[in-house]
Every structure is written in structure tokens, then in C-alpha cells.
């Protein structure tokens, strides 16, 4: 994606494109076994300074274990971890230049908000006057000014989250690790807090590594995302890349919604292929960089929002199209979701922006419709 044409500005903003850039965190062949169970399986990853990096995966795939190895609570069974050029694989947590925000927030219940945030500084031996100031500044930053004397039991979920954040940030770590930082918050608060987190990260310039199972959260927050499955990474990239150019069915399906069509390549012309998709009753076109041969089985992925739905047959032959019948639809305010049944019985999901305000719906159950999409919108997957 524009590797060759990257400008200097791009390279400073996206250091992973720069082959000469020094990664800030290096995870090298790291595995973690619990008895016979492999929780993390030979993972390699470079994270650059100032990134807000997300590790995204289903529950139980080993995200927390990986994060705990970065924090020092678990020792890798094999492999090394470097932070800022120093091998920290065997460095205990209390000596690592890293702080963690726990999934449960782990606020000390017997201390006030002030004491909680001051704790790390006390352990560092910072002067009381400076502690006072730094804690006050940090509480201000997370919008908890004046909360210092409160006990944790007197805080709401969102406030506890911010105390945990302040407590981890006040030590000015090189890296902040966040385990499902927003999972315990309700939807509205979560959206608000996402942007707060991004602002704070931007302001302090600390490298954030966030673990989440929420793909939307990862998309919004991150500079880059690593998609994890069964202890290994299956794709690493910017949110846009991972969404628009998924490398496998799993990623395409995990990140957002997608229509996956099995197909067989019938002809090939440069980077354009034409494939027979039995479920579509006709041919599908797509562009791909993959080295494929005529006769190869592939999977064509098309996102619901890339598909136009209309009652009149579109006359644009540049686009691919197929006819179907509306099986079901849902109205979501800003958009509508349609489930369209093709002649083969296959259901295709389509989402459409509700641009016009109207009391009646344009499309109803059993309406005959045409679906069409730009050929460039179809993604060819082999894995």
C-alpha cells in the first residue's frame, strides 16, 4: 500500500513502513505454555514509539497472557521481549518501565483516590511536594480534579476506570498496557472514553498497547491492529488495511460483517480475475495481487456497505450485479440492514445509509431488488 511512494511525513507517522525505523517494543518468537496448553504460540511483533497498538481477538485467544508477559507477570516459555532496546524478558514487573491498567481496574479499596494515584510515586521515592503536584495534575488530566479524598466505593464505573488510568500514567511509563480498558463501561460512556483515551495518548505521547475483543473499539482507537487467533497473530496492519484488505476469511469475518462467496477462477487478465460463484448464478470479477492460477478455488469477500441495493436494474456494466428478493430488513436509524435472498437461496447482507427522511420505507419484504458493487470492492481471499 504505497510503500514506495511514502513521504517523510508518512514515515514519521507510520514508522512501521520505514524499514530503518527502530521499533520500541520487540516481541521475538515469544511462546507461553501452561502445562500442555499453548496460550501464546511463537509470536513476533514490532511496536513503534507513540503507537496506540491494539491486540484484537476473541475471548481466550491469549491476549491477556501476551500483555502479562509485557508487564512481567508471566515469563515467556521461549523467546525474548525488548523494550526501548533493553531485553526485559527476565526483568520483574516492579523494575519494568511499563505500567498496566488491569481489566478489573484493581483500585486499592483501602486507599483514597489520591493515595491510589500517589502509590507508584511513593514507591519511586518521589518527594512529597512533587507527588502532590503530579497526582493533582494527573487527576485533572483524567477529569477527576477534586476527587482525591474519595474512597473507591464512592466512585462510578467510569470514574474508577479513570483512576486506574491516572494511577498507571502518573509514573510516566514508556509503555502503558491496557487490558480491555472499556469493557466494563456502558455503550455511551465507552464511546466518550475512547476519544478521551486517544486524546490523553496524543497529549502524553506514551506508547499504548491495548487488548480488546471489541473490533469497533480497536478500529477507532488504534494506529495498528494485530488480530489474534489461538495464540498467534494472523494479521497485523492499520485499521483500514485490516478492514479493507483482510488477509483471511477469519479476519474478514471477525472485523465487521462480510459476505463470503466461494468461487473458482475461470479466467485471469493481469491482476483481474473472473471467477464462477455457483451461489451467484453468474460470474464475479475482482482484482488481486495474489499469485493465482485459473482453476484455483478462492473466496470473494464483499462488505455489506459496499453493495448498492435498488429496485431498478442498474445499467452500469462496470459493476457486478445480482438479483434477489428481500427476505428481511432492519431499521437502525442512520442505516438499514437488508438480508437479500438470491435465486440459489444464498442470503447476502446489505447495508444502506438512510439518506432521505421518509415515513414509508422504500423497500419491503419480498420486493425484487438488484444488488450491485464496484469490482474493486470485492476482495479475493485464499486463507
Q: Which residues bind ligand ADP (CB under 6 A)?
A: 34, 37, 39, 57, 59-65
Considering only the stretches 42-50, 108-116, 293-301, 351-359, report the one whose residues sit in contact with another protein under the rule CB under 8 A. Answer: 108-116
Query: What cell was used for 26?
Result: 520487540
Q: How far apart are CA 124 and CA 17, in angstroms?
A: 37
Give the DSSP letter string of 39-93: EEEEEEEEE-TT-EEEEEE-TTSSHHHHHHHHHTSS--SEEEEEETTEE-TT--G
Nearer to ligand ADP, 212 or 288 (CB): 212
Query: What cell was used for 175?
Result: 509503555
Task: Count CA atoms closer than 13 A to 224's CA, side-chain side.
Answer: 19
Q: How far apart are CA 157 and CA 326, in angstroms?
A: 43
Nearer to ligand ADP, 34 or 195 (CB): 34
The answer to whether residue 105 forms part of the interface with another protein (CB under 8 A) is: yes
**Which option in another protein, ligand ADP, Mg ion, none does residue 39 bind, with CB closer than 5 to 8 A by kind?**
ligand ADP
CB of 134 to ligand ADP, least distance (A): 31
Of 58-87, which residues contact Mg ion (CB under 5 A)? Answer: 64
The answer to whether residue 185 forms part of the interface with another protein (CB under 8 A) is: no
Please pick, from the candidates 110, 187, 188, 356, the single residue that binds another protein as defined by CB under 8 A.
Answer: 110
Tell me which H or E stretch contains 379.
strand 379-381
Considering only the stretches 38-46, 48-56, 150-158, 254-262, report the one whose residues sit in contact with another protein under the rule CB under 8 A. Answer: 150-158
From residue 22 to residue 61, what is the string marking binding to Mg ion with x (rule CB under 5 A)? ----------------------------------------
**Which option in Mg ion, ligand ADP, another protein, none does residue 99 bind, with CB closer than 5 to 8 A by kind?**
another protein
Contact 125, 92 (CB under 8 A): no
Sorted by sequence, the CB contacts under 8 Å of residue 280 that are 6+ apart come out as 261, 322, 342, 344, 346
Quote the DSSP letter at residue 344.
T
Residues in contact with another protein by CB under 8 A are 71-73, 92-95, 98-100, 102-110, 119-120, 123-124, 152-153, 157, 160, 167-168, 171, 184
Amino acid at each position: 500500500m504505497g510503500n514506495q511512494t511514502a513521504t517523510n511525513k508518512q514515515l514519521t507517522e507510520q514508522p512501521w513502513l520505514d524499514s530503518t525505523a527502530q521499533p520500541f517494543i520487540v516481541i521475538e518468537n515469544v511462546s507461553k505454555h501452561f502445562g500442555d496448553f499453548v496460550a501464546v504460540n511463537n509470536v513476533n511483533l514490532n511496536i513503534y514509539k507513540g503507537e496506540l497498538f491494539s491486540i484484537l481477538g476473541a475471548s481466550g485467544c491469549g491476549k491477556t497472557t501476551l500483555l502479562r508477559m509485557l508487564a512481567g507477570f508471566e515469563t515467556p516459555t521461549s523467546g525474548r521481549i525488548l523494550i526501548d532496546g533493553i531485553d526485559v524478558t527476565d526483568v520483574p514487573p516492579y523494575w519494568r518501565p511499563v505500567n498496566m491498567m488491569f481489566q478489573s481496574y484493581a483500585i486499592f479499596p483501602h486507599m483514597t483516590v489520591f493515595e491510589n494515584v500517589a502509590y507508584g510515586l511513593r514507591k519511586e521515592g518521589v518527594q512529597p511536594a512533587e507527588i502532590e503536584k503530579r497526582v493533582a495534575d494527573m487527576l485533572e488530566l483524567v477529569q477527576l480534579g477534586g476527587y482525591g479524598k474519595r474512597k473507591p466505593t464512592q466512585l462510578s464505573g467510569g470514574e474508577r476506570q479513570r483512576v486506574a488510568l491516572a494511577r498507571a500514567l502518573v509514573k510516566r511509563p514508556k509503555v502503558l498496557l491496557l487490558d480491555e480498558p472499556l469493557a466494563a463501561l456502558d455503550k455511551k460512556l465507552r464511546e466518550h472514553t475512547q476519544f478521551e483515551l486517544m486524546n490523553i495518548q496524543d497529549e502524553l505521547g506514551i506508547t499504548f498497547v491495548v487488548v480488546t475483543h471489541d473490533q469497533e473499539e480497536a478500529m477507532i482507537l488504534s494506529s495498528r491492529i494485530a488480530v489474534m487467533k489461538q495464540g498467534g497473530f494472523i494479521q497485523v496492519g492499520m485499521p483500514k488495511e485490516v478492514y479493507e484488505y483482510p488477509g483471511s476469511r477469519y479476519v474478514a469475518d471477525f472485523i465487521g460483517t462480510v459476505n463470503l462467496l466461494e468461487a473458482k477462477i475461470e479466467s485471469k487478465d493481469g491482476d483481474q480475475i473472473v471467477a464462477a460463484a455457483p451461489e451467484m448464478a453468474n460470474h464475479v470479477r475482482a482484482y488481486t495481487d495474489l499469485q493465482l492460477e485459473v482453476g484455483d478455488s478462492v473466496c470473494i469477500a464483499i462488505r455489506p456497505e459496499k453493495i448498492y441495493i435498488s429496485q431498478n436494474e442498474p445499467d452500469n456494466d462496470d459493476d457486478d450485479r445480482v438479483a434477489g428478493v428481500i427476505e428481511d430488513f432492519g431499521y437502525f436509524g442512520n442505516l438499514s440492514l437488508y438480508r437479500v435472498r438470491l435465486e440459489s437461496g444464498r442470503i447476502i447482507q446489505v447495508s444502506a445509509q438512510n439518506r432521505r427522511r421518509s415515513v414509508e420505507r422504500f423497500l419491503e419484504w419480498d420486493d425484487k431488488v438488484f444488488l450491485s458493487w464496484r469490482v474493486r470492492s470485492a476482495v479475493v481471499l485464499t486463507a
